[in-house]
Amino acid sequence: MMVSESSLFIQVCLTFAAVFIQLYSNNISGPIPSDLGNLTSLVSLDLYLNSFTGPIPEPLGKLSKLRFLRLNNNSLTGPIPKSLINISSLQVLDLSNNHLSGEVPDTGSFSLFTPISFANNPELCGPVTGRPCPGSPPFSPPPPFVPPTPISSPGGVGATGAIAGGVAAGAALLFAAPAIAFAWWRRRKPQEFFFDVPAEEDPEVHLGQLKRFSLRELQVATDSFSNKNILGRGGFGKVYKGRLADGSLVAVKRLKEERTPGGELQFQTEVEMISMAVHRNLLRLRGFCMTPTERLLVYPYMANGSVASCLRERPPSQPPLDWPTRKRIALGSARGLSYLHDHCDPKIIHRDVKAANILLDEEFEAVVGDFGLAKLMDYKDTHVTTAVRGTIGHIAPEYLSTGKSSEKTDVFGYGIMLLELITGQRAFDLARLANDDDVMLLDWVYASDAFFSHFI
């Protein structure tokens, strides 16, 4: 849709109080309003995956609190404003997949951004792109190493040979200098392109209360992801119990690898969104880790496990969940889902509501887990949902047939979870075939004449 500068600014003001502007993937065209530079409390500006044209407004450089600037996948033209280098708080930058031109700044906040932030802009130049700007001298490589000349050898042959060898090596290095220089520049940058953040004395990166863990830290915590520490397996990957250096217990979700080119910053965006969903009945994201081969999420450890485990894996010596507890679980999980649907902007559709994803804290209060992961794992090149996510027996029929999810998708899953909570049965159980019963819990309930006799 074509949006004028004034009308877009009105939409922006509606989100001003939250200091996050998220208008990505809305098919918006036209120029980016320069008045955005007046929103001095803005922290995140996400306009990617639209059809914006024209230059990047110079006044954006006045956004002194801006930490996230994502304008990728538009049709922006012109140079990168020099004013942006003055945003000292800028941590994440993505200008890729546009038609920008000119020299990429390499000072100020831009000094440590990597090539991925500027990819697929063929007319950009400068050291970070690996393309010299017209009229600029070639990139200077690091000085070649020349081995010391031996002191002497009989007949002077050693000295002559060393000089000849040095000349040959120097000539070879001269021809290879451009490649060496660019390779050296690339190697001195962090190769884990999840966060383009300037290095600090403390290598930890915090996003509000969200921490970026090192892979080594999580390997130590989980005893190198030992099988003995596996808490569960699901459609998104395995979950491991871990103990951090400070002694706290965590659950580390090791996501299945579904990476595609350009997905790193999109992944980071969804991690941000998940971390901002804070509610008594939602599992709080404590931190994350991303390397070229791993994506991990870190959550608080829930000592009482999930509703599913309490219903079906409880030792005979322990009493079953009483009815007041089940009622509290039903109400708590409903409050958590309601918050995702009604109070998150954009709203979060869970898409896999089930007893195994409702966790229980020390007080047996329901905590909805795994929210946001379905969308997070969907990211391909085009920011669209590409697969039906969910578990057999919990998936709403219309979602399965159309691939389109909504709040109603979660309401259906919640209803099935309530049946699990009441009956103690699995939503999908082939063992019921032995009694000529339906394998789907919903069908089993419809067909059962003695439904209430199966309560546990």
More confident residue, 267 or 258: 267
| pLDDT band, residue 85 (cuts 50/70/90) | very high
Of 159, 182, 198, the residue that ends a domain is 198
What single-letter amino acid sits at 23?
Answer: L
Residues 189-209: b if buried by 16+ CB within 10 A, e if exposed: eeebbbbbbeeeeeeebebee
Of 163, 198, 233, the residue that ends a domain is 198
Q: The tokens of 270 are what?
A: 């969804």
Most confident of 168-182, 198-212, 369-383: 369-383
Q: The tokens of 306 are what?
A: 């999930």
Helix, strand or coil, per DSSP, at residue 209: coil
pLDDT of residue 330: 94
Question: On the CB side of 286, how many CA atoms lie within 13 Å of its CA?
Answer: 14
Integer Cα distance of 362 and 355 in angstroms? 17
Lowest mean pLDDT among 89-93, 236-240, 262-266, 347-351: 262-266
* Residues 186 and 264 reside in one and the same domain: no
Q: Is the pLDDT of residue 277 over 60?
A: yes
Place of tokens 């994201």: 285
* Residues 117 and 156 reside in one and the same domain: no
Pairing mode of beta strands 237-243, 230-234: antiparallel
Say what percent of the chain tops pLDDT 90.
25
* Residues 155 and 129 reside in one and the same domain: no
* Residues 301 and 401 reside in one and the same domain: yes
pLDDT of residue 92: 80
pLDDT of residue 265: 67
Q: What is the mean pLDDT of residues 274-293?
A: 86
CATH at 284: 1.10.510.10
* Residues 186 and 269 reside in one and the same domain: no
* Residues 297 and 335 reside in one and the same domain: yes
Q: In the chain, how many domains are there?
A: 3
pLDDT of residue 358: 92
* Residues 342 and 263 reside in one and the same domain: yes
* Residues 274 and 339 reside in one and the same domain: yes
* Residues 131 and 166 reside in one and the same domain: no
CATH at 37: 3.80.10.10
Q: Is 256 annotated as a binding residue?
A: no
Instruction: Report how far apart the first and last C-alpha atoms of the chain are (Å, whole number).
Output: 55
* Residues 400 and 262 reside in one and the same domain: yes
pLDDT of residue 255: 85
* Residues 126 and 148 reside in one and the same domain: no
Question: Could you list the active site residues?
Answer: 352
Q: What is the mean pLDDT of residues 5-16?
A: 38
pLDDT of residue 152: 42
Of 198, 215, 231, the residue that ends a domain is 198
pLDDT of residue 46: 84
pLDDT of residue 450: 53
Give the structural domain span for 218.
205-454
pLDDT of residue 100: 95
Q: How does DSSP classify residue 99?
A: E
* Residues 162 and 86 reside in one and the same domain: no
CB 293 within 8 A of CB 257: yes
Most confident of 118-122, 156-160, 256-260, 373-377: 118-122
Whether the model pTM is above 0.75:
no
Question: On the CB side of 247, how many CA atoms lie within 13 Å of its CA?
Answer: 0
How does the average pLDDT of the chain come out, rounded? 75
**What is the DSSP code string of 17-75?**
GGTEEE-TTS--EEEPPGGGGG-TT--EEE--SSEEEEPPPGGGGG-TT--EEE--SSE
Q: Give helix 407-423 / helix 323-342 axis angle, nearest 10°.
A: 170
pLDDT digit string, tens, across residues 99-118: 999 999 988 888 878 787 89
